Amino acid sequence: MSDEEGRHVRRKRYRGNHPRTFAEKYKERHPEDYPEDIAKVLARGDTPAGTHRSILVEEILASLAPKPGEIAVDATVGYGGHARRILEAILPGGRLYGFDLDAIELPKTAKRLADAGVPEGAFVPVHANFERLPEVLAGEGLAGADLFLADLGVSSMQIDDPARGFSFKRNGPLDMRMDTDKGLSARKYLATISEKALCAALLANADQEGAADIARAICLRRGKLDTTRGLAEAICSVFPDLAFKDPAMQRTLRRSFQAIRIEVNGEFAALDALLACLPDCLNPGGRAAILAFHSGEDHRVEAVLKAGLEKGLYSSIADEPIRPSRQEQYDNPRSSSAKLRWAVRSQSV
């Protein structure tokens, strides 16, 4: 290992024969330095800690049909896997605007793309929510984009890092914010929301069984929940007959954490705003692809695209969602819930 100035630094030792915690997995978090080790992690169907495996890449490229010189938008650029492939297709002459709320990961992605040979100015990082798409395009003097991609949900870099507080599988501060400089953390959100409103959020965002009991258990600990482990224990207390690793308990924890994360980040409201403005942000014949991982997201996308087709805003849309192949789901289990829908903007705008 070496520091930023190239000096040798002895790596931190870890307990046992294999690294367990996120901090100990230094090889996985520096894939460019340890390609052989990364290949082993990928071969066993895991996502290397601190990285992200792009999903339905070829299907997205087929839907977007990028061409040299076009203007593209990646509304959730994340680790940059989709962005890199799109940039390869729109260069020379093309430009991609990469939106992301995560101020921690966005600069890393910009550097990663630059190191991969993307010329200066071809990738424009935008630290903003994708609902600000019209404002950003107008500020750049653009009437619209030729390509648009939104990969909804949470990136593996956020899930895997316990310091971000997204996962019940690793203890960390109860945060869950995409943008750690804005809004209420999950800790503050749960300290102020009413039991009735929390129950409604669990039902609306996750169709959570036992939502009322879970909301009550959380609110009984109001102001005392500081960590992801504390929140998980509050939820588990509602189901004393289920062990923590029981599949039913794991599913309940995953859905409950997801429902709270959606509220903390205002995800559905932002998606609704994006879908409403999307046709006006596409050039005539522009193509859009949206990758959803949650039924609440996919239902919104499906309904709005169908309505847009009926109104003549889109000339064509996906008849059915595109799902990952069995092989992709085997290679990357995190892809299993993904649904891709696409749309083409009408020529008469």
Domains along the sequence of the chain with CATH: 14-51 (no CATH), 57-156+269-345 (3.40.50.150), 162-258 (1.10.150.170)
82: exposed, middle or buried (Cβ count in 10 Å: 0-12, 13-18, 19+)? buried
Q: Do residues 257 and 264 make contact, with C-beta atoms less than 8 angstroms apart? A: no
pTM of the model: 0.81
* Angle of the 106-115 helix axis to the 81-90 helix axis, nearest 10: 40
Alpha-helical (H) ranges within the chain are: 35-43, 57-64, 81-90, 106-115, 133-139, 156-160, 186-192, 195-206, 211-220, 228-236, 247-265, 267-277, 295-310, 326-331
Degrees to nearest 5, angle at CA 172 with 112 and 291: 50
pLDDT digits (tens, 9 = 90+) for 147-159: 999 999 777 777 8
Tokens of 259: 């429902």
CA dihedral for 56, 62, 63, 65, sign (positive or negative):
positive
Beta bridge pairs of residue 345:
314
- Whole-number Cα distances in Å, 265 to 33, 180, 189, 282, 300: 34, 10, 11, 26, 17
Q: What average pLDDT does the structure give for the chain? A: 88
- With beta carbons less than 8 A apart as the criterion, state whether 163 and 88 touch: no
pLDDT digits (tens, 9 = 90+) for 44-101: 545 555 565 889 999 999 999 999 999 999 999 989 999 999 999 999 999 999 999 9
The Cα 285–Cα 165 span in angstroms is 41
In the predicted structure, residue 18 carries a pLDDT above the cut 80: no
